[in-house]
């Protein structure tokens, strides 16, 4: 007797019953969003399972809520031909379906998860970062998360803050920090928050000085860059026959020619491009608006991306995702473009794999091409000339031109003897 091992189709065992029309409408919604056919099938498999389960459990569709979804995720499933565990992605797909039903008015809107209550003093400090310092919402959100990590260790009552309390809390945070560089950022955030409390008279003055400074030598390291020929190979690796390749080429050219940050490229909008004047407008750190020249090859790459076949979106942002849903690009996507280009050309030992790699490379190339540090600082939008001076260390030819020889011939005999003593080799028999 031959044993039949053919897998039984899952959809033939599941039936949405009276909710089949909701199922069909949801399929049209997913296709309208722009999801691929394979992705639509995956979502429909989870949703069909959920609808078949509520039919079997005799649960009215109007009464479906968060508790219903929790029961579905924990039920002993015998619905399929083969039993399978429920992963988080499986439950998330059903949750997306329930949100669609709530938006259509079929079920009661699901309550949003409760957000932790934020101290009013922290809220006022975060608002001052936006109104007084002009920080971006992303930076302010990061500051809020860092402060939320340190406040439980030092307490939320500013009147009880002392130097010992602050140092003990910071010592504990440094012990559990995910990396050795992270405490330095948290310490800086706490220092600013303590100054804000002191101005309001909620804590003792000068408590910010109780926050220790992490040992750090400014501009001690060399810029992380790659040579110009490697940058050109990254740009040439983009496949212009695809929408992804045209988009990536425009992104890489913006990063390599103008030394932009990831957020600058992600937030670039159509109104920021002055085609007649040949300039690009950016709003960088501190909401400082600047205009930079539009190089010819960058303009050609932007035209190829904007006029060629590409995803449609009602937003006026320049760069979009090429996979559905077609949302505006994020800073993470822009950084991923650089990482993918490095992988395409086979570079595994790059100093870094983000947008700063091309930013440093652009500054280094401009310096070696004869540009002054002031001009480089203008393009990179540095506030301090000391930051731009960081790139002077990579111009070995310029440093060699200003290097002075040791004046041995002009020294007295005793000075020569003293210097010769200093440069004597380490005795081989001496212990370290």
The CATH number covering residue 82 comes to 1.10.150
Whether 384 and 271 map to the same domain: the answer is yes
Model pLDDT for residues 232-273, shown as the tens digit of each residue:
999 999 999 999 999 999 999 999 999 899 999 999 999 999
Whether 25 and 97 map to the same domain: the answer is yes
Whether 352 and 310 map to the same domain: the answer is yes
Tell me the sheet residues that pair with 281.
291
Residue 317 domain boundaries: 228-392
Looking at residue 378, its pLDDT comes to 82
Joined tokens for residue 97: 């379906």
Whether 52 and 158 map to the same domain: the answer is no
Between CA 326 and CA 412 the distance in angstroms is 76
- pTM for the structure as a whole: 0.71
> 310 with 247: CB under 8 angstroms?
yes
Between CA 170 and CA 182 the distance in angstroms is 12
Burial class for 131, CB neighbours closer than 10 Å (0-12, 13-18, 19+): exposed
The larger pLDDT score, comparing residue 99 to residue 415, is at: 99
335-349 residues labelled b (16+ CB within 10 A) or e (exposed): bbbbeebbeeeeeee
Binned at pLDDT 50, 70 and 90, residue 343 comes out as very high
Percentage, residues of the chain above pLDDT 70: 83
**pLDDT at residue 423 is higher than 70:** no
Between CA 197 and CA 158 the distance in angstroms is 8
Whether 383 and 285 map to the same domain: the answer is yes
Please indicate, yes or no, if residue 320 is contained in any of the structural domains: yes
Please indicate, yes or no, if residue 299 is contained in any of the structural domains: yes
Helix (H, G, I), strand (E, B) or coil at 293: strand
Identify the weakest region by mean pLDDT among 37-46, 233-242, 359-368, 416-425: 416-425
Whether 70 and 206 map to the same domain: the answer is no
CATH number of the domain encompassing residue 236: 1.10.443.10
Whether 269 and 233 map to the same domain: the answer is yes
**pLDDT at residue 424 is higher than 70:** no
Model pLDDT for residues 69-123, shown as the tens digit of each residue:
889 888 887 776 555 567 888 889 999 999 999 999 999 887 766 666 778 899 9
Joined tokens for residue 129: 């970062």
Whether 364 and 249 map to the same domain: the answer is yes
> 161 with 204: CB under 8 angstroms?
yes
Please indicate, yes or no, if residue 239 is contained in any of the structural domains: yes
Looking at residue 314, its pLDDT comes to 81
Please indicate, yes or no, if residue 262 is contained in any of the structural domains: yes
Please indicate, yes or no, if residue 249 is contained in any of the structural domains: yes
Query: What mean pLDDT value characterizes the chain?
Result: 83
Number of residues in the chain: 432
Binned at pLDDT 50, 70 and 90, residue 389 comes out as confident
* Longest CA pairwise span in the chain (Å): 107
Please indicate, yes or no, if residue 35 is contained in any of the structural domains: yes
Please indicate, yes or no, if residue 430 is contained in any of the structural domains: no
Number of domains in the chain: 3
> Rounded mean pLDDT of 189-216?
89
Domain end among 42, 75, 103? 103
Helix (H, G, I), strand (E, B) or coil at 395: coil
Looking at residue 131, its pLDDT comes to 87
Residues 6 or more apart from 207 whose CB is under 8 A from it?
A: 161, 162, 163, 166, 194, 197, 198
DSSP state of 267: T
Helix (H, G, I), strand (E, B) or coil at 210: helix
Among positive and negative, which fits the CA dihedral 51, 53, 56, 62?
Answer: negative
Whether 134 and 253 map to the same domain: the answer is no
**pLDDT at residue 392 is higher than 80:** no
Model pLDDT for residues 38-81, shown as the tens digit of each residue:
889 999 988 999 999 999 889 999 999 888 988 988 888 777 65
Whether 308 and 167 map to the same domain: the answer is no
Please indicate, yes or no, if residue 89 is contained in any of the structural domains: yes
Model pLDDT for residues 153-187, shown as the tens digit of each residue:
999 899 999 999 999 998 888 888 877 778 888 99
CA distances from 310 to 239, 302, 318 (A): 14, 12, 11
Whether 68 and 139 map to the same domain: the answer is no
Whether 72 and 187 map to the same domain: the answer is no
């Amino acid at each position: 007797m031959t044993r039949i091992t053919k897998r039984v189709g899952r959809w033939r065992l599941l039936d949405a019953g009276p909710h089949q029309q909701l199922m069909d409408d949801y399929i049209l919604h997913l296709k309208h969003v722009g999801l691929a056919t394979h992705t639509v099938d995956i979502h429909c498999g989870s949703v069909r399972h959920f609808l078949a389960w509520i039919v079997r459990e005799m649960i009215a569709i109007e009464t479906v809520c968060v508790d219903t979804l929790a029961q579905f995720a924990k039920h002993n499933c015998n619905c399929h031909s083969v039993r399978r565990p429920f992963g988080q992605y499986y439950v998330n797909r059903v949750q997306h379906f329930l949100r669609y039903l709530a938006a259509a008015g079929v079920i009661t809107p699901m309550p949003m998860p409760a957000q932790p209550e934020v101290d009013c003093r922290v809220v006022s400090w975060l608002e001052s970062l936006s109104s007084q310092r002009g920080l971006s919402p992303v930076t302010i959100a990061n500051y809020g998360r860092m402060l939320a990590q340190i406040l439980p260790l030092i307490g939320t009552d500013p009147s009880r803050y002392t130097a010992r309390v602050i140092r003990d809390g910071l010592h504990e945070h440094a012990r559990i920090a995910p990396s050795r560089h992270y405490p330095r950022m948290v310490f800086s955030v706490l220092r600013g928050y303590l100054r804000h409390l002191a101005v309001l008279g909620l804590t003792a003055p000068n408590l910010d000085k109780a926050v220790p400074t992490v040992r750090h030598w400014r501009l001690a390291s060399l810029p992380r860059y790659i040579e110009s020929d490697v940058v050109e190979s990254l740009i040439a690796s983009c496949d212009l026959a695809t929408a992804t390749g045209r988009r990536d080429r425009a992104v890489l050219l913006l990063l390599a020619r103008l030394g932009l940050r990831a957020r600058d490229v992600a937030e670039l909008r159509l109104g920021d491009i002055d085609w007649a004047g040949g300039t690009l407008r950016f709003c960088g750190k501190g909401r400082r608006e600047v205009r930079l020249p539009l190089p010819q090859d960058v303009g050609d790459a932007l035209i190829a991306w904007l006029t060629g076949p590409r995803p449609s979106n009602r937003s006026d942002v320049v760069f979009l995702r090429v996979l559905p849903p077609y949302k505006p690009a994020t800073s993470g996507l822009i950084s991923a473009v650089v990482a993918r280009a490095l992988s395409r050309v086979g570079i595994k030992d790059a100093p870094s794999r983000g947008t700063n790699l091309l930013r440093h490379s652009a500054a280094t190339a401009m310096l070696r091409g004869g540009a002054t540090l002031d001009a480089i600082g203008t393009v990179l939008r540095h506030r301090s000339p000391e930051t731009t001076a960081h790139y002077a260390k990579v111009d070995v030819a310029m440093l060699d031109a200003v290097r002075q020889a040791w004046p041995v011939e002009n020294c007295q005999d005793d000075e020569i003897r003293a210097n010769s003593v200093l440069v004597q080799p380490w005795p081989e028999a001496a212990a370290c």
